[in-house]
Amino acid sequence: MRKKEFIMGMDLSFMDEIEQGGGRYYDAEGEERELLELLAASGVNAARLRIWNDPAGGFCNLERTVAVARRIKRQGLDFLLDFHYSDKWADPANQWKPAAWETLSYEELGQAVHDYTADVLEALKQADALPDTVQVGNEITPGLLWNEGRVDGEGFDTDEQWSRFAGLVKRGIEAVRAASPDIAVMIHIDRGGDNASSRKFFDRFAELGVDYDVIGQSFYPWWHGTLEDLRLNLHDLAHRYGKPINVVETAYPWTLEEPAGSKWVMNGREGLLPLPEYPASVDGQRRYLDKLIQIVREVPGGLGEGFYYWEPAWIPSQPEWSVGHPNNWANLTMFDFGGRMLDSFAALSPSLADRAKR
């Protein structure tokens, strides 16, 4: 059963590592607060976690995911679990198999997807922390578990490869359905402002009989187009497929300042939305969120389920991270470099909005 409340979500996958490394968070008055409690008081009602099979750094694995998921559920937040089916980042440029699955045949790979998904969900069930929604793959526009499930690039965008890709996804979905009929299945791609690519992908899944509940889209303006592109795409997808839609990843910069030792993913004005309405400032970030929330709420048929801001709490509290790279996201968070919440949270909460006007 889908929640009727509009989702104001946050991907908090780095929270565990930040806390264990000594990072701290503060409210607008500068008082130290536990992050989940602070977010819940600020209008956030959902949290997303990624899970990697066997990550080198020891975070975002099953043990740590269970521990953090229990905290999310105790806080009363909706919980979205994002299976990457990899030991590291899975995204449009990287959909590499876990090392333990490298030598498996296609049939064995499908069984591994099923069994791993089932084992993770059983562990969460035993901890009273089952997710409300599960992503079977992360930004799987080009397929997953390359090369067996690859569908982009020369020689891969074929009927046979799409069938193999869909078959692997179906094995994951099968495990989710068996774990609990109450868990919704999300299929997540990275084409928030690209209607042609979105339709190509979901038309293929419709033809191949992939049984899912929610469409997930990533939307970052410097990669995926304008807010108007997003609006038009979400409206068309709602009419075409009749499924709830979630902008499951998004962000916008609150500064372009780049302290020594940092190299931002988004560090140039060419990636900004039209000025002066959307500057790289706290107010510009709030304006962006105001508009994005409006666009999702106005998806036809009430099918705009909500959104998740990607890693709003990934503050630069340490120079290196277990994922193997330095800080590159801290100007896209919703906290300043020292962990103090920004006034852009006013986009999520009427009470915070009233305070910000004073």
Q: Are 131 and 179 in contact (CB under 8 A)?
A: no
- How far apart (Å, rounded) are the C-alpha atoms in residues 313 and 341? 9
Q: Is 289 left (phi over 0), alpha (psi -120 to 50) or beta?
A: alpha
C-beta of residue 98 within 8 angstroms of C-beta of residue 88: no
Give CA torsion, residues 194, 223, 59, 52, to 10 deg. Answer: 30
Alpha helices per DSSP H over 25-151: 35-41, 62-74, 106-126
The residues assigned a catalytic role are 139, 249
Strand, helix or coil at 94? strand
The Cβ of residue 321 has, within 10 Å, a number of other Cβ atoms equal to 20
* Phi and psi angles of residue 216, each rounded to the nearest 5 degrees, phi first: -110, 135
C-alpha 194/C-alpha 22 separation (Å) is: 40
Report residue 50 CA to chain centroid gap: 8
Pairing of β 32-33 and β 25-26: antiparallel
Q: With CA atoms as reference, report the closest residue to 316 among 304, 332, 301, 296.
A: 332
